[in-house]
Amino acid sequence: MFHKSLRPGLELRQLEERDAATALEAINRDREDLRRWLAWVDRNTSLDDTLAFIRTEAERHRATGEIAAGIWLEQDFAGTVGTHIIDRLNRKVEIGYWLASPFRGRGIMTEACRAVVDYSFRELELNRVEIRCAAGNQASRAIPARLGFTHEATLKEAQLLYGTYHDLEIWRLLRKDFRD
């Protein structure tokens, strides 16, 4: 089971079924804001939806090492960070994340993403980590920039969210460029 202490009071741990209600409450509080950038929000509207996600991610973790970690600050649920399907053939992965509004602007997500990048290179032995974010999502795109990722491309109208196309930025970090 994935678990990482980032600093006193801040930790990442693989989501468990017992976290479902807490995670859903956080999603519901920020649903409209999250919906601006994330396609999965409307597919996670009930406790059953959240439990299904957690169960699927637990199985993926056991099978491949992928993670879907809750971010906990002083025992409060702050959001999630994790890996999306690992491409073993090309030794790469994409990471995704979201943070509840009361926890934004404190560097929490930057620390959480740094830990997942470290895990991806050291534990999973991958060569490339990608972050994809909507070009208009300034908070999200600032994270890879702070972590030393390189902006590699902007894909025009590559993400359809609720009837509107968004440009999608691809940021990458290679193992050889990783500085922990």
**Taking phi first (over 0 means left), then psi (-120 to 50 degrees means alpha), and beta for anything else, what does residue 26 get?**
alpha
For the whole model, what pTM was predicted?
0.94
- Digit-coded pLDDT (tens) for 137-164: 999 999 999 999 999 999 999 999 989 9
Q: How many CA atoms lie within 13 A of 145 on its CB side?
A: 9
Strand partners, 41: none
Distance of CA 124 to the CA centre of its chain: 16
pLDDT for residue 176: 96
Element at 160 (helix H, strand E): strand 150-161
CATH 3.50.50.60 applies to domain 3-129: no
In the chain, where are the structural domains located? 3-129
**pLDDT at 20 exceeding the cut of 90:** yes
Strand partners, 153: 170
